[in-house]
Chain A
């Protein structure tokens, strides 16, 4: 099991050995604590539950506090589960602390976050439709979706037809991001490229699922 919960700090740029500028996103990752180890026998599946984000004990319910106090952990705001694949052994113990050094620079990771909410968005923003002509006698056509179906046959609009609607605020995974820098002392991690969500958003970092590296 390898993974972390973190908070998106923001973007900046760094220089690589050749002097090229590399855009990176800084994540305040950890320290995370193993709050629970779920097993096949007791829970029906294998997973590790991690906690992140120390907070005042008064901010949590007694049930949450009791769950954490079983392993003498501080009050943690965010708990997330990381599945352990079929036969893999669980290599962590409850109560253990996990720091950014589980990852190494150059490694590929997936980052999961919640994208920024866009509210009710039209088809151009939401589905990359083209806009209509601005001139040549057109009126009210600039951002309209166009035809949404045929006439009396079938006499209805197909299900799943792409239209305007709520956009964003979704769980989004960005795959195969390269870890650019880790700073164990300050619990900081920087990945190459951008990650979903606003600054301050909670993200999950895990080894890249589809990478050839492992």
Chain B
């Protein structure tokens, strides 16, 4: 308890500058804009896919995005929520999911790997 609260206080004071993002949820289809440094040049690369896992924890909060690359190869990438290397995260679609981790998507492809869109209440 004590550890968590003190550490969180320190991190909050450090990160006053980081903008609050809409929290990413499992099942969201997102486009993540990642800053990439190539030598001296910096560019932004998007990565679009489904969030199959989201973890909490002060500065260690992260989420994993799965996308199907060319030739049907699945690519998963994990991002730290508070990382300054994330330019922005666009949430394109929110889906109705009944699990905390969508690992079952790894065994599926095509039609069976779809998620039902969440109806706005």
Which residues on A are within 8 Å of B, measured CB to CB? 9-10, 12-15, 18-19, 21, 26, 28, 181, 183, 186, 188, 190, 199
| Contact residues of A: prevailing secondary structure | strand
Q: Which residues of B contact A19 (CB under 8 A)?
A: 35, 83-85
Are B59 and A14 in contact, CB atoms less than 8 angstroms apart? Answer: yes
Given A15, A18, A186, A199, which contacts B10 in the complex, CB threshold below 8 Å?
Answer: A186
Which residues on B are within 8 Å of A, measured CB to CB? 2-3, 6-7, 9-11, 13-14, 35, 37, 58-60, 80, 82-85
- Write the chain B residue with the least CB distance to A187: B6
Given contacts A19-B83, A21-B80, is CB(A14)–CB(B11) below 8 Å?
Answer: yes
Given contacts A15-B82, A19-B84, is CB(A190)–CB(B3) below 8 Å?
Answer: no
Are A181 and B10 in contact, CB atoms less than 8 angstroms apart? Answer: yes
Give 15 A-B pairs besides A15-B82, A21-B80, A26-B6 with Cβ atoms closer than 8 angstroms: A9-B2, A10-B3, A10-B6, A12-B10, A12-B58, A13-B60, A15-B59, A15-B83, A18-B37, A21-B83, A26-B7, A28-B6, A183-B10, A183-B13, A199-B3
Given A9, A18, A186, which contacts B13 in the complex, CB threshold below 8 Å?
Answer: A186
- Write the chain B residue with the least CB distance to A20: B85
- Write the chain B residue with the least CB distance to A15: B84
Q: Which residues of B contact A9 (CB under 8 A)?
A: 2-3, 6-7
- Write the chain A residue with the least CB distance to B9: A186
Query: Could you tell me the distance between the alpha carbons of A129 and B55 in the complex, rounded to whole angstroms?
Result: 38
Q: Which residues of B contact A13 (CB under 8 A)?
A: 59-60
> How many whole Å from B47's CB to the nearest CB in chain A?
16
Query: Could you tell me the distance between the alpha carbons of A112 and B94 in the complex, rounded to whole angstroms?
Result: 50
Query: Could you tell me the distance between the alpha carbons of A181 and B85 in the complex, rounded to whole angstroms?
Result: 20
Most buried by A among B6, B11, B85: B6
> How many whole Å from A181's CB to the nearest CB in chain B?
6
Query: Could you tell me the distance between the alpha carbons of A10 and B58 in the complex, rounded to whole angstroms?
Result: 12
Given contacts A12-B58, A13-B59, A14-B59, is CB(A188)–CB(B10) below 8 Å?
Answer: yes
> How many whole Å from B110's CB to the nearest CB in chain A?
36
Q: Which residues of A contact B14 (CB under 8 A)?
A: 14, 181
> How many whole Å from A17's CB to the nearest CB in chain B?
8
Are A12 and B83 in contact, CB atoms less than 8 angstroms apart? Answer: no
> How many whole Å from A37's CB to the nearest CB in chain B?
31
Q: Which residues of B contact A26 (CB under 8 A)?
A: 6-7, 10
Given A10, A12, A28, which contacts B60 in the complex, CB threshold below 8 Å?
Answer: A12
Query: Could you tell me the distance between the alpha carbons of A55 and B37 in the complex, rounded to whole angstroms?
Result: 51
